[in-house]
């Protein structure tokens, strides 16, 4: 993949040509990871804190893209809070600080899964988000970026309420009993 592909993923997720995710820009963030990765390879291939940090920042960017797309479909306050945690972690100065920020506020991610009306696209986006958090290699992140570039243009951004198959409204008495 490339820095341009990563930038395009964020643009699609945020629906803007200039998503404000990284202070230095998405292209620069990706290039910083590539530079650290090449330096690691030249020094024998043993991961360094620099590589880990830039990998974590890149992984956060991919996760932010999928959560932002989810937020556009779900549009609820709790989803915005989860996105805020990822954005806060992106400002961290090292890998340990990233982990500390995310772990401290991990419960906010549970709210992503508490939708009454969940549609197939939201489920898929959450699956992509989960895979971004589990990614442990450059190849896995590049694959997620590629899949995101295929997926996001196909998302029905107007399908916020529920699936197309869910044409029958829920019984109001049933909803009150919840």
164 domain residue, yes or no: no
pLDDT at 172: 53
> For residues 151-162, b (16+ Cβ closer than 10 Å) or e, as one string?
bbeebeeebeeb
Rounded CA-CA distance 140/130 in Å is: 12
Q: What is the pLDDT of residue 118?
A: 60
Q: What is the pLDDT of residue 115?
A: 58
- pLDDT one-digit tens code per residue, 126-163: 999 999 999 999 999 999 999 999 999 999 888 665 44
Q: Count up the domains in the chain and report the number.
A: 1
Task: Say if 7 falls within a structural domain.
Answer: yes
Each residue's pLDDT expressed in tens, for the chain with a length of 178 residues: 689 999 999 999 999 999 999 999 999 999 999 999 999 999 888 889 999 999 999 999 999 999 999 999 887 788 899 999 999 999 999 999 999 999 999 999 887 877 545 678 888 899 999 999 999 999 999 999 999 999 999 998 886 654 444 444 444 554 444 4
Do the domain assignments include residue 133? yes
H helices of the chain, in order, are 3-14, 26-42, 49-74, 77-90, 95-104, 107-110, 120-134, 138-151, 172-177
Q: Is residue 88 part of a domain?
A: yes
- Any domain includes 129: yes
Is 116 domain-assigned?
A: yes
Q: Classify residue 177: in a domain, yes or no.
A: no
Tokens 């972690």 sit on residue? 89
Per-residue model confidence (pLDDT) at position 1: 62
Q: What is the pLDDT of residue 160?
A: 61
Q: Which domain holds residue 49?
A: 3-158
In a domain, 151, yes or no: yes
Q: What is the DSSP letter of 47?
A: -
How many Å apart are CA 178 and CA 174, to the nearest integer? 7
């Amino acid at each position: 993949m490339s820095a341009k592909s990563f930038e395009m993923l964020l643009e699609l997720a945020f629906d803007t040509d200039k998503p404000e995710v990284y202070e230095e820009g998405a292209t620069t963030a990706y290039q910083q990871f590539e530079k650290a990765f090449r330096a690691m390879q030249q020094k024998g291939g043993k991961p360094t804190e620099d590589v880990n940090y830039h990998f974590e920042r890149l992984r956060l960017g991919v996760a932010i893209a999928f959560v932002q797309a989810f937020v556009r479909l779900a549009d609820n306050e709790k989803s915005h809070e989860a996105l805020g945690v990822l954005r806060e972690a992106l400002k961290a100065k090292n890998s340990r600080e990233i982990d500390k920020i995310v772990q401290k506020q991990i419960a906010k991610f549970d709210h992503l899964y508490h939708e009454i009306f969940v549609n197939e696209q939201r489920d898929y986006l959450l699956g992509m988000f989960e895979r971004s958090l589990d990614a442990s290699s450059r190849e896995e992140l590049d694959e997620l970026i590629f899949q995101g570039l295929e997926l996001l243009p196909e998302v029905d951004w107007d399908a916020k309420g529920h699936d197309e198959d869910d044409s029958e409204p829920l019984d109001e008495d049933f909803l009150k009993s919840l």
